[in-house]
Structure 1
Amino acid sequence: MKTYKYIFATVLAALALSACQEEEITEFPDYTKNWFELQDNPDDSVAHAMYQFYKDYNIPVFANDTIGQQQRVDVFGHEYTHYETLTLSYSMGGGASAYTEPVVDNFVCATRQYIPAFLRYLRANIMPLTPKKVHIHSILLVDQMYSRSFGNDAFKGLNTLVISNVANLANMSDKEKKAMQGSILRVLYGDYITHTDEYNAKLERFYNVSRDLSPSKDIYNMYTGYLRQYVTGADPTDWNHPTVEEVGFLGPDPSNSYYTPASTFMDIMMYCQAILTYDEAEFEALYGQYPYIMEKYHILKEIIETIQ
């Protein structure tokens, strides 16, 4: 019996040694290239501006979702070209509505000549207001995009933050620039808030301000004509009340004006944008007559102020 055990152990050792040797033979160090490490090009003013932003904030900036390519060999010994691309089709923010997932369907790459000016805009208006807790893996600059999420100014994918309007910045009014600032910050804060467990209790309070008004049917993704039937104390014969604002929403769902915000995520994003666009006096001037909106405003504003 001892002899068989010895032979079995010897065979196992030989197989393990063979496996180790095989791993050493099939190791491809070049395949571990860091695609997010930018190199400077002082002779190219645009590339140099992107590199300087990267050095200052440790955030690589790209003008195309294909960020590199590399010749590789597959397991059968065939050569092929690997293209490294940014992931735009997935967001940590969850569902953008009841029927779609957040995704960038299409975009127009940024016009290179406008990139340095746009980076100066980001330096002055976005980076000083971006908390250290909020991680930006990379930035993809585009001229236009269409997103099945909330708005087409900015979108946070798996490994990049897509920001639009690069070529249009010079023609934007101060009001439009302020709105874009709110859109970009909304993406960063909203994604972080909805995925940080310490905020769960406060977020439940936020959701329930509106949900408690309709105990028999979820008030999210509700046809607005049903509010009069399901909101406690509402007059079922009054088609004009309650409005979405009267039950604590800043407006209907951005993708369907006949429904309340389709998800709690959408509700959070709409409030984040408003809070990060307007100061308190401006917000009260717009929504101060709606007590449920103001209640939700103070809950979420308190959360935002804790993010450093």
Structure 2
Amino acid sequence: MKNILFVIAACYTLTLVSCRKEPFTEFPDYDKNWLAMEDNPNDPTIHANFQFYKETGIPVFVNDTIGSQKRVDVFGKAYTYYEVLSLSYSLGGIPSGPPPAVQSFTYCSKADVPNALTFLKNEIMPVIGGNIHVPSIFLVENMNTNAFGTYAYKGFNTVVVAQVSKIPTMNETTKAAYKAAILRAMLTNSVLDNKYADILDKFYAVSRKYVNGRDAYGLNSFYLTSTYIVGLPPGTPFTFQALGFLGPDTRITSSSPISTWLDVSMYIEAAMVNTDAQFKQRYAASPNILLKYGFIRQILNDMGIK
């Protein structure tokens, strides 16, 4: 009799449990696309940036914190998550030597944003067209980097464009250098795409073929001697330029560029600041530089960058 009562009680309990409505857990949108801009007509700066975003598909920010979200951690404790643009450099894996870095920056004034957007529309967008992926643009005032100067920097999910207040007063020479730095930051990823691997291998080989027993990249100036440098025409000085480098590493001036991608970046910027004729005239006495430039120009032409 006790067994029968136990079975009846168990069945009754199961019936109550099965009739109870399962609780619904609503998870926050942790996979939100933070780079998708939202308009705010009441904020002229955000509204202007949103118009640029609609026209180009590129979000523009004036703060590296681009959003926040209420979340709950694994212990059930509520906290606020802040999405911040990543300024760490994304190319080359873990490079040897000091990695490229933004050492400091200051926010720009919202009053300078309209001139910056006009410059981007008129000077940058016609060059890159719709073929180059730019995840976002972060407008700042002052910026210091250890590898790429003070104008522009390629971060993980943004291109930092600095000195925006100075755009209206830049002379033509400064503006050309400024434009070239921005284009270098925007184009490097695309130039280093795997589809151009064969061309890039030829580009790297121009310098590497003259160095014996060591890699041409990260070569200390101490090794610019006949013991390690072979094959240059007789009488050619042993310099980084003779090997096909535009200059030393931008962080270690006693060394050739320590990374292949830095070498490429330097060539892209030089190609963007000079016309084809200007570049060839400037480096007429450096045949290996002209040879490497030809490979970069081949890639840029294929990308539609004239």
Question: 2-side partners of 1:259 and 1:142: how far apart?
Answer: 31
| Aligned with residue 272 of structure 2, among 265, 269, 276 | 276
| Structure 2 contact 146–250 (Cα < 8 Å) conserved | no
Which residue does the alignment assign to 1:223? Answer: 220
Distance 1:93 1:153, change over 3 A: farther
Which whole-Å deviations, capped at 9, do the CAs of 1:167-197 have from their partners, x for residues lacking one?
2223322111111111111122222222x21
C-alpha contact 1:131 1:307 (8 A) present in aligned 2: no
For residue 111 of structure 1, what is the amino acid of its counterpart? S
Q: Post-superposition shift, 1:29?
A: 4.1
Stretches of structure 1 lacking an aligned partner (at least 5 in a row): 1-17
Partners of 1:92 and 1:27 lie apart in 2 by: 37
Match of 2:208 in 1: 211
Amino acid of the structure 2 residue aligned with 1:276: M
More moved, 142-151 vs 294-303: 142-151
Over residues 86-130 of structure 1, what are the superposed CA-to-partner deviations in whole Å (9 max), with x where a residue is unaligned? Answer: 1222413545x6312233232111211101100100001111111
Q: Distance in 1 between matches of 2:217 and 2:247?
A: 12
What is residue 156 of structure 2 aligned with on the other side? Answer: 158
The AA in structure 2 aligned to 1:87 is S
Measure the CA separation in 1 of the matches of 2:137 and 2:237: 43
* Distance change in 2, residues 1:232/1:34 (3 Å): closer
Q: In 2, distance between residues paired with 1:35 and 1:248?
A: 42
Q: Considering only CA atoms, is the larger Rg found in Structure 1 or Structure 2? A: 2
Q: How does 1:17-32 map to 2 (within 5 A)?
A: 25-32=24-31
Does 2:97 match 1:99? yes
Return the alpha-carbon distance in structure 2 between the equivalents of residues 158 and 33 of structure 1: 17
**Cross-structure match for 2:41:** 42
Question: Residue in 2 aligned with 1:139?
Answer: 137
Q: Return the letter of the residue paired with 2:77.
A: H
Q: Does 1:301 align with 2:297?
A: yes
Paired residues for 1:77-92 under 5 Å: 77-92=76-91
Q: TM-score, normalised by structure 2?
A: 0.84
Decide which moves more: 185-194 or 279-288.
185-194
CA distance in 1, matches of 2:128, 2:261: 20
Evaluate the alpha carbon distance shift between residue 29 and residue 72 of structure 1 in structure 2; reply closer, same or farther with a 3 A threshold: closer
Render the CA deviation track for 1:210-265: whole Å, top value 9, x for unaligned: 11011322122112232123111579xx9x92222111111111112222112211
Name which of structure 1's ranges 124-133 and 273-282 shifts more when overlaid on structure 2.
124-133
Aligned to 2:55, what secondary structure does the other structure show? helix
TM-score normalised per structure 1: 0.84
Superposition deviation, residue 55 in structure 1: 1.0
CA contact (8 A) 1:41 1:48 kept: yes
Change (3 A) 1:70 1:282: same
Q: 2:177 aligns with which of 156, 176, 179?
A: 179
Q: Which residue of 1 aligns with 2:249?
A: 253
3-state secondary structure, aligned to 1:142: strand
SS of the residue aligned with 1:126? helix
Distance 1:26 1:149, change over 3 A: farther
Q: Distance in 2 between matches of 1:233 and 1:261?
A: 20
Q: CA deviation at 1:153?
A: 1.8
Q: How many equivalent residue pairs?
A: 284
1:156 CA displacement: 2.0
